[in-house]
Every structure is written in C-alpha cells, then in structure tokens.
Amino acid sequence: MRKKHYIKLIVFDMAGTTVNENNVVYKTLQLAINKLGHDVTLHDVLLNGGGKEKLQAIRDIMRPAYNSSDSLEKDAQAAFSDFLILLKDAYENLTVTTYEGTVALFEYLRKNGVKTALNTGYNTKTALSLLEKLNWGEGQTFDALVTADDVDRSRPAPDMILLAMEKCGISNPKEVAKVGDSMVDIEEGKAAHCGLTFGVTTGAQTADQLNAARPDFIIDSLPELKSIIAIRG
C-alpha cells in the first residue's frame, strides 16, 4: 500500500496543471518571437519557457540565437511587448476549461483542512482573466493566488511559494506540496524545500522531461493526489 504524506498546503501551477487553455500563451510566445525572424517551434517554447515568468521565458527561448546580451535583451523586450498585445487579442474569444476533477479535488482538500494556492509565471492581469473565465475566486474556489507580479524573483526561485505560505499561514515548508507541469515548477518546489514535489503530465512537458527535475511523484491527473496526500482526522 502506498504511504500517504501529511500536507497542509498544496501550491498548484495554473496553465497546464489546473487550467486548460490549450497552450495559447505558449503559442502566442512562439508567434511573437518568430515575428522577429526566428523559427522556434512550440516544442522549443514549451521546453525552454514552460512555467517561467514570460519575459524570462522569451529570453531563455531566444538566447541560443544571440552572441550579445544587449541585442538579446532589446529583442526580448520587443517580443514581450508584442506578446502582451497578441495575448489580449487571443484571450478575447478563448474558451478556457479546467482539467477533469480539479474543482472536486479543491473542494475535498479544503473541506479536510488542506489549503490550496495557485501560483503562476503569468502577470496578475493575465491570471485574473483566466480565473474570471472559469468563475474561480480567491477565498472561494481556492485559498490564495500568487503571480509573477507579486515577487521580485519568479521561478525557479522559491519566492512565490513562500508568499503563498505566508498568505495561508503555513510556516513549515515540509508541510507544503508543489504541483506543476514543467521542470521549473519542480525546481521551484525544491528551492522552497517543499515536503513533496509533483510533476503532472497534462501540460507543457512530458514525463521524461519532468523526471529530469527529480520530482517525488509524476502523476497523470490531479485527482491522483488523493491517494498520496493524507487527511488528518
């Protein structure tokens, strides 16, 4: 029988983990970068940009094509500005759904005393637009939201998880689990010294890619957490 682990807070990534937006953000990143004359694939974008704050994602995706950091930064800023405009247009008619069982899992966890937080490499405006489409509310569907705008250092630094812990009144990182669909999510969880890190295969990266970051568990859907996270009676 699988050993269960006592956890007080689970920090979930958004897109690709809890929110299914059909990779529109990464497809838009790809478009904005390629408008500058590059030829990056969606695979490149997901591998090198998955889970990251989006300006940093653009830098990391474009970096191999540049010898000068000044030229890279100039083009990355231009691509990021274009990306924000393109994304606004893409979101206007975007259908956003959640992965099956996510809301029921949140309800189960919160009913049994486990806090749920969302964190994301998106800025606050983008994150809220996604949540509005789902009719999710902080303090209602989940307990806390932390975005890249809320911290000085985004993933893989631990700052967003530490802020989520503060918001949820959790002081011991060993009582926290991090769940995400990218290697940088797992690296973030390890940087915060989380008790558990999970890679989920619903989003940006494959199980093999996620395994490179050495998570404690790889799962194919969020409801699998019920068999791993113990609920204190």
The pLDDT tens digits for 150-177 are 999 988 999 999 999 999 999 999 999 9
Binned at pLDDT 50, 70 and 90, residue 34 comes out as: very high
Let me know the angle formed at the C-alpha of 231 by 230 and 233, rounded to the nearest 5 degrees.
Answer: 130
Model-level pTM? 0.85
Q: Which of 155, 147, 151, 145 is nearest to 118 (CA)?
A: 145
pLDDT for the residue numbered 152:
93
pLDDT for the residue numbered 233:
45
The pLDDT tens digits for 45-100 are 988 988 788 899 999 999 999 999 999 999 999 999 999 999 888 887 888 899 99
pLDDT at 1 over 60: no
pLDDT at 147 over 60: yes
Q: Which of 36, 24, 33 is nearest to 87 (CA)?
A: 24
The pLDDT tens digits for 185-227 are 999 999 999 999 999 999 878 999 999 999 999 999 999 999 9
Let me know the angle formed at the C-alpha of 137 by 26 and 177, rounded to the nearest 5 degrees.
Answer: 65
CA–CA separation, 146 and 142 (whole Å):
12
Which of 21-25, 113-117, 146-150 is predicted least confidently?
21-25
